[in-house]
Amino acid sequence: MNFQLDLIEDKIEFFEAHDLKSLEKKISIQIEHNKAILLQVHHVSHQMNMDENGKTFYSAVVHFKAKK
């Protein structure tokens, strides 16, 4: 039985929430999880939208890259 381990070099994750505090908490938790597999934040992109009822909706895309 052969095992081959490959390192994750790039990982992109998507997050969404109805307020910024919740969005930030979700991202912070995932940053800590990804540190365990030697990934760090490379780029963050975020957006705010309004739904049909006028409530705000926040989303973010976080690009993680392997530490060099």
Residue 40's domain comprises: 10-51
> Which positions ≥6 away from 66 have C-beta within 8 Å?
7, 8, 9, 10, 38, 39, 40
**Residue 51, pLDDT score:** 82
Question: Do the domain assignments include residue 57?
Answer: no
Q: How many domains does the chain have?
A: 1
Q: What is the mean pLDDT of residues 16-37?
A: 95
Global model pTM greater than 0.95: no
**Residue 6, pLDDT score:** 81
- Please give the Cα distance from 61 to 48 (Å, whole number): 12
Q: What is the mean pLDDT of residues 17-46?
A: 95
Confidence category of residue 67, pLDDT binned at 50, 70, 90? confident
Question: Do the domain assignments include residue 63?
Answer: no
* Percent of the chain residues topping a pLDDT of 90: 79
**Mean pLDDT estimate for the chain:** 93
